[in-house]
Structure 1
Amino acid sequence: MAPKEKAVLWVSSARDDLVDFPIPVKRTIGFAVHLAQIGLKHEQAKPLQGFGGASVLEVVEDHRGDTYRAVYTVRFEDAVIVLHAFQKKSKRGIATPAHEIDLIRKRLKLAEELYAQWKTGKRKPS
């Protein structure tokens, strides 16, 4: 019996930002989100440090010298919520820039509201 597939919800501009990524990057991130929907974890999905555990994950994909990242949460029972998708601009270090972490924190709070709206039927999944 196949596991029940979770819905995918998108916070703010995450979906629009992902659409602009190169096709191979979109495929990797899309597959990672799909695996999360069925309760699995992509080999490139790693817990994002500073978010207390493994419920906020980051997928990093390099393409032609550029680095792309997508962050999603699996903390909700029946939805995967994509919080942020961005191209890393800094060429120094591999750490996620502080301003991106701050944005992810804000969007995680928005995700809680979005999820509550979705659960009460006030919002449709994307």
Structure 2
Amino acid sequence: MQFLGDSLKSLRDFPGDARQDAGRQLDKVQRGKQADDFKPMPSIGKGVEEIRIWDDAGTFRVIYTARLTDAVYVLHAFQKKTQATSKRDIDIAKVRFAQLMRGEK
């Protein structure tokens, strides 16, 4: 598991239950299974997916790619404030994915 940018810090800032759920879902992905609630994010890049976490404290997202052979890469983790994912959050994930594809980890 590789965390890019501030994604690990952001994930650690999730409330307890949401953080535990995110950890369980990432563990599933790492073992080659699919997260319980996810959706593809082709607007960010090929093979990028978003784990969706619903918690009493709010709605949280973890954007990752598991398509590379060496690790699962977490591109971005954040609390979702509106119905649509903000352009800022998508742009952060896009930049990190592009850097990853260029070999910058």
TM-score by length of structure 2 reads 0.87
Tell me whether 1:58 sits opposite 2:50 in the alignment: yes
Q: 1:103 aligns with which of 89, 92, 100?
A: 92
Query: For residue 73 of structure 1, what is the aligned residue in structure 2?
Result: 65
Q: How many residues align?
A: 103
Name structure 1 gaps, 5 residues minimum: 1-7, 115-126
Cα deviation for residue 75 of structure 1 reads: 1.9
Name structure 2 gaps, 5 residues minimum: none
Q: Which amino acid aligns with 1:37?
A: Q
Deviations 1:75-106 (A, max 9, x none): 2112000010111123xx2x211121111100
> 2 CA distance for matches of 1:87 and 1:99?
12
Assess if the C-alpha contact under 8 Å between 2:60 and 2:78 holds in 1. yes
> 2 CA distance for matches of 1:78 and 1:38?
13
Identical pairs, percent: 33
4+ long deviations beyond 4 Å: none
Assess if the C-alpha contact under 8 Å between 1:83 and 1:111 holds in 2. no
TM-score by length of structure 1 reads 0.74
Bigger Rg, structure 1 or 2: 1
> 1 CA distance for matches of 2:37 and 2:12?
19
Q: Which amino acid aligns with 2:43?
A: G
